[in-house]
A = this chain, B = another copy of it.
Amino acid sequence: MNSHILLIDCEDHEGLIHKITGVLYRNNLNIISNGEFVEKETSHFFMRTEYSGESDEKAIENELRALLPQGARIKLNKKEKKNIVILATREHHCLGDLLLRHYSGELNANILAVISNHEVLRELTENFKIPYHYIPHKNISRQDHELEVTNTIHQYKPEFIILAKYMRILSTEFVEKYKNMTVNIHHSFLPAFIGANPYLQAFNRGVKIIGATGHFVTGDLDEGPIIAQSIATVDHTQGVEGMVQAGRDVEKIVLAKSLKLVFEERVFVSNNKTIIFD
């Protein structure tokens, strides 16, 4: 089936849905699903439409642009698997889960490569026939290390970069270069426990619930737009290690859920928030 995903966002005006669906209707395209939202604070309109049928994408886009307010963003793509590169450090659970979903065809993405600053995950990755790049960070400046990472990413031209427990802080340049393209899993219920060792922080605070957060990466550490969150209950019998363990399942499920939404192009970013059509 020839499916397309149309994303539009623009200033809110009267009649937008009528006009946009009119373009699809006149081109004999069939709407499969449709979602609209107006953000009150900004008077901004968001719409995601999945449609099927034969269409000249460029022509559709031109017809739409003629009807929409100035400054409208229009994104029109075939519904396809995304190309991604994964960055990881030492932990198996998130990377392994993505490799498994990729292997079974469930991921909705092509994993082009895995990049890590350690060798630990090479065997796991290569078992699944995915290229593994070991880029050590020792005896090298942070800048040079990141340059090598960037060069390696560059050769794959991915649409998204996934941080599957990549435990290195990224420079503002890196983050800006891959803006709205980089998804991270943070092992806490943001904005609680920003930064290092969130499980230790959670243990010390004596919380009864821990969580994980999938978010786009921005220049501010752990402050990017949140895509998905989930939680697990804990109690006083669990030490830090028990929380880490309980957290692993939450992390991998939330990361996978975030990626499903992103890869199906269900996520708009507005200021520092997400608008999600699911």
Instruction: Name the one of B96, B206, B245, B272 contacting A103, with C-beta atoms under 8 angstroms.
Output: B96
Interface set, chain A 233-249, CB cutoff 8 A to B: 235-237, 239, 245, 248-249
Given contacts A17-B21, A128-B127, contact A191 B209 (CB under 8 A): no
Would you give the shortest CB distance from A8 to chain B, in whole angstroms?
A: 14
Task: Say yes or no: A104-B96 contact (C-beta < 8 A), given A17-B34, A18-B21.
Answer: yes
A256 touches B245 (CB 8 A): no
Closest chain-B Cβ to A172's Cβ sits at a distance in Å of 21
- Chain A window 25-49, contacts with chain B (Cβ cutoff 8 Å), 1 for yes, 0 for no: 1001011111011111000000000
Q: Is there an interface contact between B209 and A189, defined as CB atoms closer than 8 Å?
A: yes
Cα of A34 to Cα of B21 in the assembled complex, Å = 13
Chain copies in the assembled complex = 4
Interchain CB contact under 8 A, B92 and A104: yes
Structural contact, A106 and B21, CB atoms closer than 8 A: no
Docked pose: A11 CA to B41 CA in angstroms? 37
Q: Which residues of B contact A147 (CB under 8 A)?
A: none
Closest A-B pairs by Cβ, 4 of them: A206-B273, A92-B104, A18-B21, A192-B192
13 A-B residue pairs with Cβ-Cβ distance under 8 Å, sorted by A, are A14-B30, A21-B21, A34-B36, A37-B236, A93-B100, A96-B100, A96-B104, A191-B192, A209-B211, A236-B274, A249-B253, A249-B256, A253-B253
